[in-house]
Amino acid sequence: MLDQSKAEKIFERVKKYSSVPNVEILFASTDFSLTRFANNTIHQNVAEVNEVASIRVAFDGKTARATTNRFDDEGLKRAVQSAESIARVQEPDQDLLPMATADASKGPDAPSRWFDQTSAITPSHRADEVGKIVAIAKKNKLVTAGIYSSSQSVEAVVNSNGLSAFHRQTSAEVSITMLADKSSGWQKANSPDVRNVDPVRLAEIAAQKARDSAQPQEIPPGKYTVILEPAAVLDLVGFMFGDFGGLTVLDQRSFLNNRIGTKLFGENVTIMDDVTHPLQSNAPFDGEGIARSRVNLVEKGVVRNLVYARGTAEKMRKSEYKDKVGEIRVTGHGFPLPNEMGEAPTNIVFVTPGGEQTVDQMIAGTERGILITRLWYIREVDPYEKILTGMTRDGTFLVEGGKVKQGLLNFRFNQSLIEMLNNVETMGKAVRSSGEEAFDMVVPAMKIRGFNFTEVTKF
């Protein structure tokens, strides 16, 4: 695996090949392995090791990038020459800033996201754990499918202004689907620390959901009180966080245009972006090597702040919106340059207001409602009102009289996120959660009134 010393030595070699003084390299080194299973048996085991250097040059207001996974002299030289050639044919960008300095990468300390136990995972270990998952499936007369992956990765940014930022991380992930004739159950977890991922427990929960939703019944579509487990919450709210980037507001493509500083959600909704949170992951710096800082995005339902890359912050300060967007500061959320995306928050943490309830307590307090394990095939219908459509999947249940009564045929929904986050009655404890439509976040389960289901499926 790449280390900081090796990254800096490669950078010194690259500088010698460049005909311009301003050079930046974004390094990525990954050792990824995956065990895949279906029909109660392992059918694939793959592993990939790759190291990439993405080289950016800047001169005369122009910038461009070229990437290579060859670290020999010829490979590096060709990548530098490619970046310079591409930059020369670009139009000058009057807003292009000098490369960041060394001080810009210094921020609050984030917890270590490297765990020896995770880096030591072997194919045999993953196979043994899959064997336990399969045993649970067979015990319950179910068929299981899913994955168990493990990885170790390194990110680094080094530039000619003295910046050198380095991050290493491990990851373990398990996703399990349990299948019966007419029902299914699902669970997924991801963590830098494998000790936080319990395949047996996940398999037991998925199997129970498949059993309990057997012979699902149909009820008519309409507006219902729903209890969303954290994975379902994550996959819905994930559709709005790209709009918290400053460039989306400048481009007038954010649902937050003309809404910053207003009470958009319920008072019990507070959302942070916090790379230092103990349940979070990823590098504590952005694509330019700028340290990520903690940002208060939503406070008691009021949209407070956006996140900014360096260039976007400069543009916002000069724009007509500068007095309407809260605090303008470089927050360390930019993507590697050049890009048209700007920035986005990537370490979302919901701050629960106290009085948290477990999912069981939410069920006990619900006279009639629907319990949802997860959602899928989610698409945006109205980008300004953040209306989404999608379907329930792998564990949808009718709740009556404070108890789970039976499995239900799945629904299609059409639901505004804004309305949804105004109708949150209770929340659970915020936990690290994994879904299929959005990146991992720290989110709670939610009990929500008036969730809009438009159709019933045949499964």
Residue 211: inside a domain, yes or no?
Answer: no
Please tell me the distance from the alpha carbon of residue 193 to that of residue 169, in angstroms, as a whole number.
10
Within a domain: 207: no
Q: Are residues 222 and 368 in the same domain?
A: yes
CATH for 13: 3.30.2290.10
Torsion, CA 64, CA 438, CA 133, CA 372, rounded to 10: -170
Instruction: Kindly tell me the burial class for residue 259, based on how many C-beta atoms sit within 10 Å of its own C-beta (0-12, 13-18, 19 or more).
Output: middle
Residues 55 and 138 both lie in one domain? yes
- 290's enclosing H/E stretch is none
Final residue of a domain: which of 173, 202, 231? 202
Contact 335, 301 (CB under 8 A): no
- Beta strands (DSSP E) in 230-364 are 271-273, 295-299, 302-303, 348-350
Residues 96 and 227 in one domain: no
Q: How far apart are CA 63 and CA 56, in angstroms?
A: 7
Global confidence as pTM? 0.95
Beta bridge partners of 33: 47, 150
- 424 lies in a domain? yes
Residue 116 lies in a domain: yes
Report the alpha-carbon distance of residue 334 to residue 41 in Å, rounded: 42
Q: Which residues, listed in sequence order, are joined to residue 36 by a DSSP beta bridge?
A: 44, 147
* Within-domain flag for 210: no
Tell me how far apart the alpha carbons of residues 104 and 288 are, in angstroms, rounded to a whole number: 9
Verify that 139 and 253 share a domain, yes or no.
no
395 and 433 fall within a common domain: yes
Q: What are phi and psi of 124, to 5 degrees?
A: -65, -40
Q: Which two tokens stand for residue 217?
A: 């019944």
In a domain, 65, yes or no: yes
* 137 closest CA partner among 35, 37, 45: 37
**Cβ atoms of residues 300 and 267 within 8 Å:** yes
Number of domains the chain is built from: 2
Place of tokens 């044919």: 89
Looking at the structure, do residues 184 and 302 belong to the same domain, yes or no? no
Residues 331, 270 within the same domain: yes
Q: Which of 167, 202, 237 is the last residue of a domain?
A: 202
Q: Are residues 292 and 185 in the same domain?
A: no
**Of the candidates 95, 51, 85, the residue with the CA atom closest to the CA atom of residue 65:** 85
Is residue 38 included in any domain, yes or no?
yes
Q: How far apart are CA 118 and CA 149, in angstroms?
A: 10
Facing residues of 280 across strands?
none
Burial class of residue 181 in the structure, from the number of CB atoms within 10 Å of its CB (0-12 exposed, 13-18 middle, 19+ buried): exposed
In a domain? residue 421: yes
Question: Is residue 376 domain-shared with residue 409, that is, in the same domain?
Answer: yes
158 beta partners: 25, 164
Query: What is the residue-level pLDDT of the chain in tens, covering all 459 positions?
Result: 899 999 999 999 999 999 999 999 999 999 999 999 999 999 999 999 999 999 999 999 999 999 999 999 999 999 999 999 999 999 999 999 999 999 999 988 889 999 999 999 999 999 999 999 999 999 999 999 999 999 999 999 999 999 999 999 999 999 999 999 999 999 999 999 999 999 999 999 999 999 999 999 999 999 999 999 999 999 999 999 999 999 999 999 999 999 999 999 999 999 999 999 999 999 999 999 999 999 999 999 999 999 999 999 999 999 999 999 999 999 999 999 999 999 999 999 999 988 899 999 999 999 999 999 999 999 999 999 999 999 999 999 999 999 999 999 999 999 999 999 999 999 999 999 999 999 999 999 999 999 999 999 988
Q: Are residues 376 and 282 in the same domain?
A: yes
Where a domain ends, among 180, 202, 224? 202
Provide the domain limits for residue 444: 216-459
9 and 86 assigned to the same domain = yes
Residue 148 CB contacts under 8 Å (≥ 6 apart), including other chains = 34, 35, 37, 126, 129, 130, 172, 173, 174, 199
Based on the domain organization, do 275 and 136 belong to the same domain?
no
